[in-house]
Structure 1
């Protein structure tokens, strides 16, 4: 920030505090301005305007930083989880930040094991740590668009990200032109033990023969006994516990680093 911009910020902080019924000394305002000086002036102006209109308590750095996060496209942990968890479905288009992606890389194995509660806890813990580190490093989040193969759901996801201010209109228009071929097999049907062709996949005769072979193989498999199913559930429960322990251990190790 230039000296002129710093003077502007100090005046904005003192004026905002006065609007909230608080007297802020020039020395205190200068300290707060120093902590906020890495952010663009436009972002600071928007954040302070929101503080004046929404905040009911005393002016604190946290009150400003929370609104700066929103202004630069950094959602709160719960909102970030709601966005990131959609990445479990490869059909979905996900518009997220590098910070969400980093936290999701730790939570995804737990989610894939079927433990969404544990995955959410792992994600939020990791996300808050990543955001805290980014704040300390004065690093802005970067937004990426992970295109899913479901064309019908792609544009609504991008339009929502545009409305939230995560991407620019130019970026949205560019991402909407990208298309991916659908998978050969319907992944949702595979989760239920069925093998089905994805509509519009355009299978070759060889792939159709392979599809029929897989379908016949599943149909001819003997159903498992109740004892075998119970054993499988026990194995899955043990796997989830071990996986959760590994995730928690990794989080603890990264927290010490």
Structure 2
């Protein structure tokens, strides 16, 4: 939050405390504001609402720690995999033929782990430690997960991993066209049959993504 957000924050805070027939001093409001300063006003408002609606915590006036717990809980749903899943993805990059779709945190953590040779256990521990620190820092800073492709030599794996990344919602179709040869081939290499097959496949993929989105609504 910015200093100019204080008045709006104080109104929300006072309203939350008024539900319990309580009030805060000016110094307490300032301490509260400082404790939540790294979050946006919109995020803090959402945390207040979550606290008030909580069947257990909502029975008591909110403390900064209560709101931070809600805020960190929301951050854990940002699409970043846990360390075990991240390692399973990252370790495939050892194979130069393999294609992986990973986050910046995975790539940086795996670079550290790659410096440890002939010790799989030590490499994994180093990855886990570095990855968890990077993810925690990214979430604290409010940075969203950014996924990108690291292409290997196997053309079939490039395409299948790219399309799976789209299915998972990590990337948009436009970002992976390079992995679908017929869609980026030069004019003199154009094959109408292959293009139609790929177009049908992309339409089917888009439809499956839309259907999945409707199922969640």
What is the TM-score of this pair, normalised by structure 2?
0.55
Q: Deviations over 1:84-127 (max 9, x none)?
A: 111101111111111111101111132xx343222111111111
Q: How does 1:77-226 map to 2 (within 5 A)?
A: 77-110=83-116, 113-172=117-176, 174-177=177-180
Report how far residue 166 of structure 1 moved.
1.6
Gaps of 5+ in 1: 36-58, 180-257
Contact (CA 8 Å) 1:13, 1:29: kept in 2 or not?
no
Task: Give the drift of 1:31.
Answer: 6.8
Residue 149 of structure 2 aligns to a residue whose secondary structure is: strand
Unmatched tracts of structure 2, length 5 or more: 9-40, 183-217
Using a 3 Å threshold, how does the CA distance of structure 1 residues 28 and 178 change in structure 2: closer, same or farther?
Answer: farther
Q: Distance in 2 between matches of 1:92 and 1:106?
A: 20
Aligned to 2:170, the other structure's residue is in SS state coil
Quick check: which has more Rg, 1 or 2? 1
Q: Which aligned pairs between 1:42-81 and structure 2 lie closer than 5 A?
A: 60-67=70-77, 69-70=78-79, 74-81=80-87
TM-score when scaled to structure 1? 0.47
Count of matched residue positions in the alignment of Structure 1 and Structure 2: 144
Contact preservation (8 Å) 2:51, 2:58: no
Aligned CA-pair RMSD: 3.0
